[in-house]
Structure 1
Amino acid sequence: MDKIDALDRAILMHLQMDGKSAFTKIASNLQISEGTVRTRVKKMLKNKYFQFIIHMDPASLGLEVQVIIWIQTQLGCQDQVADVLSQLSEVRFVAAFSGQYDLIVQAYFKNKNDLITFVNKQLASIDGIITSDLSIELKQYKDSFSYITNE
């Protein structure tokens, strides 16, 4: 299974709309057998084309402050800094990007004081960081993991 075909996409669209949808319901809607759905889903999971996750609302867990942190690292230190950041419980996302900053980090905090402590203690103690810039989320317009469309 090298690529996702039209049938895989259709199955994924159903799961994207309702991750708890029964394979029998998906099969009925697509007019295929339940075994076909089960086999396709199993292969896509094995090949890591998708994963089942629970997407929670951070605010419902008391995490009221979301920040994006842009980080510039010393030459040769990007992987090391990313590895350290990836271990921190407040950090949800770490990725390398081109441009002025080497890493972009998304993190969540209970309040602004926790953010300040994170920046002044944890972030400041990581070797290899030259500079960082933070933006606090003021309003969220979209937060989605949906990539499959009707095309």
Structure 2
Amino acid sequence: MRELDKLDKEIIMLLQEDARYSNTFIAQKLEVSEGTVRSRVNRMLEEQVFEFVIHSKPEKIGLSVSAIIFICTELGYQDKAANELSRQPEVRFVSVFSGPYDLIIQAYFSSNDKLVEFINQKLSNIEGISSVSVSIELKKYKDSFNYAEF
């Protein structure tokens, strides 16, 4: 992958503003040709610099409970547990962090009962998970995939 230049970064910033912007609109805004924008976007997609996704609002589709779940695993089971967690439809995010927990996940549920069911029926059956700690989101101030300008 080659390094992103100023034009690549400007295209990304505009698409972060509104991914529905057409190549023609972006080209006019940046004073370049539509073909330049199209080829840059296609190259960045191929190089996986970004991807287009639908970011639905969980609460608007019936998922009113958002939880961050902190997980401790037995030695040697971190990757296996992370891969199994990644396959769970409720789970949006799985990552390894430094600190007291081996894995941190974010998951969405339609109710507290569904969260409890997930913990007791799914997490308890994943080999290598030794303990979990659950934090439920009480109030959201920001949920964005726009990053600081670069």
Alignment TM class, shorter chain as reference: over 0.9
Q: Which runs of 5+ in 1 are unaligned?
A: none
Partner residue, 1:68: 68
Query: After superposition, what is the alpha-carbon deviation per residue over 1:81-122, rounded to whole angstroms, capped at 9, x for unaligned?
Result: 011111111111101111100100000000001111111111
CA RMSD in angstroms, aligned pairs only: 0.9
1:13–1:148 contact (8 Å) kept in structure 2? no
Structure 2 matches for 1:76-115, cutoff 5 A?
A: 76-115=76-115
Partner residue, 1:136: 136
Shift of residue 18 of structure 1? 1.1
Partner residue, 2:119: 119
- 1:38 equivalent to 2:38? Answer yes
Shift of residue 127 of structure 1? 1.2
Partner Cα distance (2:54, 2:118) in 1: 26
2:62 maps to amino acid: G
1:45 maps to amino acid: L
2:122 maps to amino acid: Q
Partner residue, 2:47: 47
TM-score (norm 2): 0.97
Instruction: List structure 1 segments (4+ residues) > 3 angstroms apart after TM superposition.
Output: none
Percent pairwise identity: 51
Shift of residue 148 of structure 1? 4.7
1:63 maps to amino acid: L
1:69 maps to amino acid: I
2:134 maps to amino acid: L
1:120 maps to amino acid: N
Shift of residue 3 of structure 1? 1.5
Q: Number of matched residues?
A: 150
Partner residue, 1:18: 18
